[in-house]
């Protein structure tokens, strides 16, 4: 499992950062996006997909354990 960082971008969207691979990408969609349940599958603008366990909505900048989501063709 990788440790990732998600932060609020200046444009208003969210940015995904994976330090181990020096990978930075915009998050296009989040499976769950309510104050009570936030997370699940994150789809990135580079075509990648990661999964974080759903939690209560975090602050604008936070670290999470994540795993690469299975490919869905």
Q: What is the pLDDT of residues 47-73, one digit of tens each?
A: 999 999 999 988 878 888 888 887 665
Burial class (CB in 10 A: 0-12, 13-18, 19+), 70: exposed
Domain edges within the chain: 2-68
Tell which CATH architecture fits domain 2-68: Beta Barrel (2.40)
The pLDDT of residue 26 is 96
| pLDDT at res. 59 | 81
Average pLDDT on 10-34 reads 93
Share the mean pLDDT of the chain.
89
Residue with more model confidence, 34 or 70: 34
Residues 24, 45: contact at Cβ < 8 Å? no
């Amino acid at each position: 499992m990788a440790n990732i960082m998600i932060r609020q971008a200046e444009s208003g969207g969210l940015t995904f950062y994976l330090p181990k691979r020096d990978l930075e990408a915009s998050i296009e969609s989040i499976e769950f996006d309510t104050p009570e349940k936030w997370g699940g599958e994150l789809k990135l603008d580079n075509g990648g997909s990661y999964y974080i366990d759903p939690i209560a909505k975090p602050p604008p900048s936070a670290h999470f354990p994540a795993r690469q989501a299975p490919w869905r063709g």
